[in-house]
Structure 1
Amino acid sequence: MTGTDPARKGGAAELFDAIGAGYEEAFGRPPMVNAAVRDLIEVLPPGSRVLDLGSGTGRPVAADLAAAGHRVTGLDVSAEMVRIAREQVPDADFVHTDLRQWHSEPSSWDAVCAFFPFLQMPRADTEAALADIAGWLAPGGRLALVTVPSDVEDVPVEFLGHRIHVTSFSAGALLERVRAAGLVVTETRSETFAPDQPGAEAEEHLLISARKPG
């Protein structure tokens, strides 16, 4: 079992069950996530089907998209996060599952949000997830992806008082993988974000906006 397996001690499920609402308190509304959600609300037709991977507490992503009239389904590996999200965003649906074990019909989503869900997954799993996302998107569908870009693999770090293992890609390598999945990158943005938490270090947030041809 690798350090990025959710079943391992310190993995994603255990981590976010423990953090719960503290994640929202620390991270609030990261500007890159806010920008990505605003962009989707501007371009998506009313009532669009939106899948939110790693939906967390449901705020701000699912809450804002549902308030804009879209049909939102959130997936999260943490049972506690799903419980909180269902209470906070009753107008969206939330499923307790590992996105790697979840299946959807081809072309069934108008947009997919992926805001930091891959940082505790092996690189091969992220590549497979991007291919799945491309299949799930309807022609012309949108992917909004935000991550912490870095050329690291299974590196131990401290995160909100917990020791976890992180894997990521450099910005260029991740862009290559988004394109390899069959998506067209339409925009990238990057900026530094400092969590509202004592001792938390600033980190780079990269937004990749992409579209499925068709």
Structure 2
Amino acid sequence: MDDEQTHRAAAVFDALGADYERAFGGSPAHHDSLRRLLDDLAPGSRVLDVGSGTGRPTAAALAAAGHRVLGVDVSPVMVALARRQVPEAEFQQADIHDMPLPEASFDAVCVYFSLLQMSRAEQSALLHRLVRALRPGGLCALATVPLDVEDVQGVFMGRDVRVTSFAAEDFTAAVREAGLTVTHQEGLLFTPAHPGAGPEPHLFVHGRRERSDPHPTA
């Protein structure tokens, strides 16, 4: 993301703080996704949590199971909350686009609802980088709001946001194109625990990096 996009995203989630966790942290599908990931992870796995928010439920569940978690978020308020709530994990305030992601450095990557303020090109490019950061056989758990929209103005929990997303089949195609074999996907409606919230579509996708190089050069 450019500096303006990063600033906007940080400002939104700085303002939301713990309200975001209260609204979305109880999602049964999110917890099911985490259980699926935990069932497949080897003990002591190294996991990257992109857009780690308050640290709950994702980093907390992974750390409680004995995994080594690095959470990354652009919001200093979210990072401060996560460090307090999940002290056994590591959290960095950073834009994931600017972070070095060495080849095959993680056993798993989580990307829960953290792509929606990026352009489609940025989302696709980041997915490629994240897959390269997985070891062969590494796992990826993703979630998004599957809508066919691009740079649309909206209101999220009372805050103005600009949102870009893919339709469900296009998002799954982007995940595959990035180098993952899709092992599970689930679409559903979820109503956040927030005044005035209505049901919204959520899509959870799990994948595995099967090859040592998802995009070999000729």
Q: CA deviation at 1:182?
A: 1.1
**2:215 pairs with 1:193:** no
Partner of 1:13: 10
Partner of 2:156: 159
Contact 1:32–1:146 at 8 Å: present in 2 too? no
Higher relative contact order (CA 8 A, sep 6+): 1
Q: Would you say how many aligned residue pairs link Structure 1 and Structure 2? A: 211
**Structure 2 unmatched runs, 5+:** 212-218
Contact 1:32–1:190 at 8 Å: present in 2 too? no
Q: Alignment RMSD, CA only?
A: 1.5
Contact 2:23–2:194 at 8 Å: present in 1 too? yes
**Structure 1 unmatched runs, 5+:** none
Contact 2:79–2:92 at 8 Å: present in 1 too? yes
Contact 2:101–2:130 at 8 Å: present in 1 too? no
Q: CA deviation at 1:101?
A: 1.1
**2:109 pairs with 1:112:** yes
Q: CA deviation at 1:170?
A: 0.5
The separation in 2 between residues aligned to 1:147 and 1:69, in whole angstroms, is 26
Q: TM-score, normalised by structure 1?
A: 0.95
Partner of 1:101: 98
Map residues 130-169 of structure 1 onto 2, 5 A cutoff.
130-169=127-166
Match of 2:24 among 18, 22, 27: 27
The separation in 2 between residues aligned to 1:189 and 1:64, in whole angstroms, is 20
Quote the sequence identity (%).
50
**2:185 pairs with 1:184:** no
Contact 1:59–1:85 at 8 Å: present in 2 too? yes
The separation in 2 between residues aligned to 1:149 and 1:31, in whole angstroms, is 18
Partner of 1:173: 170
The separation in 2 between residues aligned to 1:31 and 1:53, in whole angstroms, is 20
Q: CA deviation at 1:28?
A: 2.0
Q: CA deviation at 1:176?
A: 1.1
Q: Write the deviation string for residues 14-70 of structure 1: whole angstroms up to 9, x where unpaired.
A: 100111111111112212211111011111011000100000000011001000000
Q: CA deviation at 1:137?
A: 0.3
Secondary structure of the residue aligned to 2:149 is coil
